[in-house]
């Protein structure tokens, strides 16, 4: 455990001392937040124009709903993109030959892999939770209807989804050996992931084939929980203003707060179980990958000894 702690701390320090990695990790959520406010917020708000025109007193509540939608979309994306950026440390070590140097010492491959995983998760969590706090400040400025349980729920969602993003990122980076490969994958994930978790656009607006793929993504249900915790209290205020419950339910479905899995819907607890299931599957895949590399390395040593 001491070796894991030392290596984890070493990887965290490397990340925070790398000005480029640190800057790109912190600046990307800020840029996304401004882009979401400039573009997505207006689109979200326009979808409620009919409701506002029927009752002008509802506009502050709609502002609260739209700001919650913006922040839930932001968090749903960065919990994947930030860990992928931070996991670049392990690729940097590979390309610089540091990894090979570690293997000349008694440090085991699994120990080193675990240190990269923990360092990526801890560093990512710091940035994602910081971004969540910025988001809460934004919601407060626009229209605050959140409760303490909503804030706790957003925190739990961020912690779990960051773990999902870390596991996926470390698994992908395990196959990469150069920063050029990292750049390509970073572009693919940064550009496309938001669509496949329902962060950028409602799932029902996609072609049916894309919808089906999205519904098998565990992060889709994590995004749903983020939306619930960021917007449900504001929707409850709409109910207090005598907006029909049927209309509210349709709005919640349209905003992917209630994903429809081929005619079936799940509650929040089931959403969490789906996310945890995704984390476990990815962790098993990462573990099997490490074991296969260890077995392959041992077989090579065995054949080398036979040849000699």
Residue 42 to residues 48, 154, 156, 192, 209, Cα–Cα distance (Å): 10, 23, 28, 22, 28
**Higher confidence at residue 306 or residue 132?**
132
**What pLDDT shows up at residue 53?**
65
**Cβ-contact 125, 14 below 8 angstroms:** no
Report angle CA 25, 87, 30 to the nearest 5 degrees.
15
What is the per-residue pLDDT for 302? 40
d(CA 227, CA 219): 12
Residue 241 above 70 pLDDT? yes
**What is the C-alpha to C-alpha distance for residues 286 and 266, in angstroms, rounded to an integer?**
28
Would you give the DSSP letter of residue 176?
A: -
The whole-angstrom separation of Cα 249 and Cα 133 is 28
Q: Say which residues have a Cβ less than 8 Å from residue 63's Cβ, sequence separation at least 6.
A: 45, 142, 143
Partners of 261 in the beta sheet?
264
Is residue 78 within 8 A of residue 128, CB to CB? The reply is yes
Between 21 and 125, residue with greater pLDDT? 125
Comparing 99 with 252, the larger pLDDT belongs to 252
- pLDDT number for residue 303: 45
Residue 205 has pLDDT above 70, yes or no: yes
Distance CA 288, CA 276 (A): 18
- String of b and e for 196-207 (b: at least 16 CB within 10 Å)? bbbbbeebeebe
Share of residues in the chain with pLDDT > 90 (%): 22
Write phi, then psi, for 168 (nearest 5 degrees).
-65, -45
pLDDT at residue 104, as a whole number: 66
Highest mean pLDDT (candidates 25-34, 46-55, 272-281)? 272-281
Q: How far apart are CA 71 and CA 1, in angstroms?
A: 37
Q: What is the rounded (10 degree) CA torsion for 177, 16, 166, 94?
A: 20
Give pLDDT, residue 304: 42
Where helices occur in the chain by DSSP H, the ranges are 2-17, 19-35, 41-46, 49-54, 59-86, 88-96, 98-103, 109-142, 148-174, 179-196, 208-215, 218-240, 245-254, 268-307
Is 0.75 topped by the overall pTM? yes
Q: What is the mean pLDDT of residues 202-216?
A: 79
DSSP 38: I
62-66, 111-115, 235-239, 296-300: least confidently modelled range: 296-300
Interval 177-196: pLDDT, tens: 777 777 777 777 766 777 77
Pick 58 or 220 by higher pLDDT.
220
If pLDDT is split at 50, 70 and 90, which confidence band does 298 have? low
Average pLDDT taken over every residue of the chain = 81
pLDDT above 80: residue 52:
no
At 45, is the pLDDT very low, low, confident or very high (cuts 50, 70, 90)? confident
Top pLDDT among 103 and 121 is at 121
Q: How far is CA 307 from the centre of its chain?
A: 48
For residue range 60-117, list pLDDT tens digits in order.
888 888 889 889 988 998 998 888 888 878 877 777 777 676 666 777 778 888 888 9
């Amino acid at each position: 455990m001491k070796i894991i702690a030392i290596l984890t701390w070493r990887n965290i320090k490397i990340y925070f001392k790398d000005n480029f990695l640190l800057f790109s990790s912190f600046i990307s959520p800020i840029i996304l937040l401004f882009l979401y406010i400039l573009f997505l917020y207006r689109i979200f708000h326009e979808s409620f124009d009919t409701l506002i025109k029927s009752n002008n007193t509802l506009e502050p509540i709609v502002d609260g709903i739209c700001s919650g939608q913006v922040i839930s979309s932001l968090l749903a994306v960065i919990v994947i993109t930030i860990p992928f950026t931070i996991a670049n440390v392990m690729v940097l070590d590979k390309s610089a030959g540091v990894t090979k140097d570690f293997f000349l010492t008694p440090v085991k491959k699994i120990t080193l892999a675990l240190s990269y995983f923990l360092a990526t998760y801890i560093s990512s969590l710091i940035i994602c939770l910081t971004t969540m706090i910025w988001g809460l400040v934004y919601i407060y400025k626009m229209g605050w209807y959140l409760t303490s349980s909503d804030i706790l729920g957003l925190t739990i969602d961020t912690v779990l989804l960051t773990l999902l993003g870390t596991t996926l990122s470390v698994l992908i980076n395990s196959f990469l050996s150069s920063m050029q490969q990292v750049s390509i994958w970073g572009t693919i994930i940064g550009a496309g992931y938001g669509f496949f978790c329902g962060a950028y656009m409602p799932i029902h607006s996609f072609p049916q084939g894309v919808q089906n793929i999205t519904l098998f993504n565990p992060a889709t249900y994590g995004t749903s929980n983020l939306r619930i915790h960021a917007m449900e209290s504001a929707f409850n205020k709409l109910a207090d203003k005598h907006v029909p419950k049927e209309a509210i339910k349709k709005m919640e479905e349209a905003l992917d707060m209630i994903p429809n899995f081929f005619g079936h819907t799940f509650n929040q607890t089931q959403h969490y179980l789906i996310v945890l299931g995704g984390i476990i599957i990815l962790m098993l895949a990462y573990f099997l990958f490490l074991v296969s590399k260890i077995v392959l390395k041992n077989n090579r040593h065995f054949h080398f000894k036979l040849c000699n």
